[in-house]
Structure 1
Amino acid sequence: MRDLAVGLGYLWQGQRWVAGHRRRLGLGLLPGLVTLVLYAGALIGLAYGADEFVVWATPFAADWSDPWGGLFRGFLVFLVFALGLLLAVVTFTAVTLLIGQPFYDALSAQVDRSRSPDGTAPESELPFWRDLFISTRDSLRIVVRVLVWGILLFAFGFLPFVGQSVIPAIGFCVTGFFLAEELAAVALQRRGVQLRERLTLLRSRRLLAWGFGVPLALAFLVPFAAVFLMPGAVAGATLLTRDLLDEPNRADTDEPSNPPTGPTEP
């Protein structure tokens, strides 16, 4: 259970780091804002079209007596929108990171430098276009995994009681885990850690990933919150990455902590 608190602590520390380095905020809000506008339009369209989709998909319920037909279709509309929302929360992060990759890479590297004992940060040896290709490919793989989970959760949502209580909780855990992976990927990719290794690392410390990702997933449901939280989430995920890899940390500062040189006073 300690890892839950540690994960939440990294999320908070990341927001504090960005608040204390406001010059790093700047354009970091723009990718999230662009993505938010796109996703808001898609979710509004889903809200208007979900009812028609459910009616088209369930012709057998047209002859059901009231109120069962209406309740059944209403519940399916809720599940369709919930599935769309789950996909939106996870893919929002992926799309925002792709749009703002140069900024978020630089921000993550600065967090590494501020916490590294020698004031250095791991750097990718790949050209920018190659890093972008890998990020896009891995994001698509994560989206496929989330889609599979979403379909399973949608199916189990039909179970009485369980579908209305346990399944939504599992959905937030799944969303939180993949959010943690997407955000930690910024720092891990600079270290040459591939997707399979990243997933293995996070699975070995699921509580840490949930402690970081689940509160973030809940916060992302608040309108505009994702835009303002993204830079701090990337910073916090970099701190989480250092923990996963057992890298040493020091107090946050803008200057490297070099050992003193020359004679010292007795």
Structure 2
Amino acid sequence: MSSAPAPPEGTDVRALAEVAREVAEEAATMIVQRRPADLGVATTKSSLTDVVTVMDQASQDLLRSLLGERRPQDAFAGEEEGGSAGTSGLTWVVDPIDGTVNYLYGLAAYAVSVAVVVGDPSRPGAWRPVAGAVVDPVAGRTYVAALGEGATVSEGGGAPRPLRVAEAEGLGLALCATGFGYEADRRAWQGQVLARLLPQVRDIRRLGSAALDLCRVADGTVDVYYERGLNPWDLAAGWLVATEAGAAVTDLDGGDPSSAMTLAGAPRTQAALRSAVLEAVDVVGEEHDRS
């Protein structure tokens, strides 16, 4: 169960969502317009396949600068280098390019994810997002959510429209998105779990951006989603978009999503997915801790 604190008194979540939208859209424009023709890998993180491009850092630096101008009292935490403490009780958690490998290869599934959270995002169950935005620059879509205020999507600069998830007619008719880790042993374990799950769903999609997968649950592009190994910057904004659209977003035990597992979908279908993934995990065996 979440132990995240309530937002500080007087927090205007709508205004925070607007800030998230503005800075995410500016960073998204930058990563498209300034993408080098010869873009390559700048460095790697957890493994040789977990890449960072120069544009990841450039996007994060821009986000940090823009948020520092608008919200100097808030803390900042991003996927790449550079963070700062704050005094407001709020922390901006950003993924400057979610779907870096897609971006590197010129595939059209990547996004900028910006969320503001309460609590400590480094401690599972001790934080939650209160406002956020995910921008898909290639598709021209901006997803925005604020705690208790619902979620919207706008396309091509048009007016925002509200999002609401719809139940699939059973897990067997649900299109399921997932993702894989970068470490070889984790991917092998995930492949075994997937093999158990595949016959139980309509089909599987691996799109390569957790933030967009969660938003696609919200807009109905996919019915359910699960993935192990997500970090706070991967899921913060998408988690809020999905939940404000009516989705259940939990871990395997029904608590807050975490690196151990994140599962999302309309409530009944998500519950069925959670049962199926739990059974698959039990059969395959825990080769990694759930933490």
- The TM-score with structure 1 as length reference comes to 0.25
- The TM-score with structure 2 as length reference comes to 0.24
Larger Rg: 1
Q: Which has the higher helix share?
A: 1
Q: Which has the higher strand share?
A: 2
- More contact order relative to length (CA 8 Å, sep ≥ 6): 1
